[in-house]
């Protein structure tokens, strides 16, 4: 089938390759002139036969919102938009309603797999009507991994991005657990071969996983991670997961702690710990470091 794909960066570009390799036609648009097949959204829409399916794979937030608004002006009743970016789930229903007033369908699809997805396949978490899911199924089939798993129609519009948000919250917690275990092993006088321990866990162990494989790969390149700074960014999914935990009063100890640890990583000197040191000095006369 034909697909319009907007955003041909690290994710979208690889996805286009995988969809084409499965025998589909992709008409791609990107802001970078060297990557794209068409030079405007209007040209992309023109090149597709109706009813059209257009997938947005651009950064979440303002860019996705304005791209979908422009598509809403250019597409016709019967066409379908799929947002595959890491949008916030609360954006989905209002978008779907705006587009529905013009007869345009909308689905959200959480996409996991990072830069490895083109070879391994992408895990897809879809929210939308069964009819729209069926329309896009050949594209989902092309993107998902070859095996039994890697796809869920999670529920109505919003459910795909919600599922991806929770997936990313879990990702934060798993990464943090590996990271803390690594720090403890490195600090201890008991274990000499820390990279070897992680490597050994890749087979047979209870904690074997793709994240562990990737951590082992990172340690192969830099056994003490000496080339990196202890600084980690976040792009929103972890914060939304914790917001939801507060809204629903669900205890999310590990994920919340993992998120806060990232915030802490950006503080060269912790203001809160200065306050703790000041208070210890005030009530106990304990020494402080200035």
Residue 235 binds ligand 6PG (CB under 6 A): yes
Residue of 25, 102, 148, 171 marked active site:
171
Would you list the DSSP string of 6-34? E--SHHHHHHHHHHHHTT-EEEEE-SSTT
CB 257 within 8 A of CB 175: no
Residue with tokens 């391994």: 120
CA torsion 202→204→206→208, rounded to 10°? 20
Smallest distance, Å, CB 121 to ligand 6PG? Answer: 12
Find the shortest distance in angstroms from Cβ 7 to ligand 6PG. 14
47 is catalytic: no
Task: Pick out residues in 164-183 that bind ligand 6PG (CB under 6 A).
Answer: 168, 171
Peptide bond between residue 96 and the one before it cis (omega within 30 degrees of 0): no
Q: Does 164 participate in catalysis according to the annotation?
A: yes
Sign of CA dihedral 29, 32, 33, 36: negative
Q: Which stretch binds ligand 6PG (CB under 6 A): 106-114, 188-196, 208-216, 223-231?
A: 106-114
Number of residues that bind ligand 6PG (CB under 6 A): 11
Residue of 29, 237, 242, 252 that binds ligand 6PG (CB under 6 A): 237
CB 240 within 8 A of CB 86: no
- Pick out residues in 84-103 that bind ligand 6PG (CB under 6 A): 86
Provide the minimum distance between the beta carbon of 32 and ligand 6PG in the complex, in angstroms, as a whole number: 20
Catalytic residue positions? 164, 171
- The footprint of ligand 6PG (CB under 6 A) covers 86, 112-114, 168, 171, 233-235, 237-238
């Amino acid at each position: 089938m034909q697909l319009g794909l907007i955003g041909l960066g690290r994710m979208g570009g690889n996805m286009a390759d995988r969809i084409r390799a499965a025998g589909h036609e992709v008409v791609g648009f990107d802001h970078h002139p060297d990557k794209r097949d068409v030079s405007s959204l209007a040209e992309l829409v023109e090149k597709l036969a109706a009813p059209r399916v257009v997938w947005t794979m651009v950064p979440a937030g303002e860019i996705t919102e304005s791209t979908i608004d422009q598509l809403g002006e250019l597409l016709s009743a019967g066409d379908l938009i799929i947002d595959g970016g890491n949008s916030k789930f609360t954006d989905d229903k209002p978008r779907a309603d705006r587009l529905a007033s013009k007869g345009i369908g909308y689905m959200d699809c959480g996409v996991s797999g990072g830069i490895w997805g083109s070879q391994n396949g992408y895990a897809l978490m879809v929210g939308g009507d069964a009819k729209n899911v069926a329309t896009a199924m050949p594209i989902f089939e092309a993107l998902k991994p070859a095996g039994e798993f890697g796809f869920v129609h999670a529920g109505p519009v919003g459910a795909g991005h919600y599922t991806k948000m929770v997936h990313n919250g879990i990702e934060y917690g798993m990464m943090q657990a590996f990271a803390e275990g690594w720090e403890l092993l490195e600090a201890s006088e008991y274990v000499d071969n820390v990279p070897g321990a992680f490597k050994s866990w890749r087979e047979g162990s209870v904690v074997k996983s793709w994240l562990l494989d990737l951590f082992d790969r990172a340690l192969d390149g830099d056994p003490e991670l000496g080339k990196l700074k202890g600084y980690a960014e976040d792009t929103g999914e972890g914060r939304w997961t914790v917001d939801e935990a507060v809204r629903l009063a669900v205890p999310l100890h590990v994920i919340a702690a993992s998120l806060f640890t990232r915030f802490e990583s950006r503080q060269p000197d912790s203001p809160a710990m200065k306050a703790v040191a000041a208070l210890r000095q005030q009530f106990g006369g304990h020494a402080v470091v200035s």
